[in-house]
Amino acid sequence: MANPYSGEVRLVLDGRPHVLKLTLGALAELEASLGTDSLPAMVERFETAAYSGRDVLALIVAGLRGGGWRGEAGDLLSVEIEGGPVAAARAAALLLARAFAVPGGAAA
């Protein structure tokens, strides 16, 4: 089970629940894969809805890795995501919000 107070998000892939979390290492990897030069630039990309499916996939991969998963982005190309692409985009947005939420904030 994911703990929202520690920034975790739950996503079900191929019927198996996974915990996603953006650790500092996962954030650094995400910056590199998205080609952004700062955390605010990366967050702005999602806040302004200027993101692509590739961006959502990169965020999901970073979150999975932060949660302990050792796969690669290519491993996710054929998985069944419970709730489909919309659920994946929601999980990605929630993951980003929780990573930067201040304690007691509204990103639960």
pLDDT, residue 50, reads 75
The domain locations on the chain are 4-99
**83 near 10, Cβ under 8 Å?**
no
Of 71, 74, 85, 108, the residue nearest 11 (C-alpha): 85
> What's the pTM?
0.83
Residue 63: what pLDDT?
94
pLDDT at 11: 96
User: CA–CA separation, 90 vs 71, rounded Å?
Assistant: 21
- Residue 87 near residue 11, CB atoms below 8 Å: yes
pLDDT tens, per residue, the chain with 108 residues:
788 878 899 999 999 999 999 998 888 888 888 888 888 887 888 788 777 888 889 999 999 999 999 988 889 889 999 999 899 989 998 998 888 877 665 555
Tracing tokens 């892939």 back to the chain, one arrives at 13
Per-residue model confidence (pLDDT) at position 104: 63
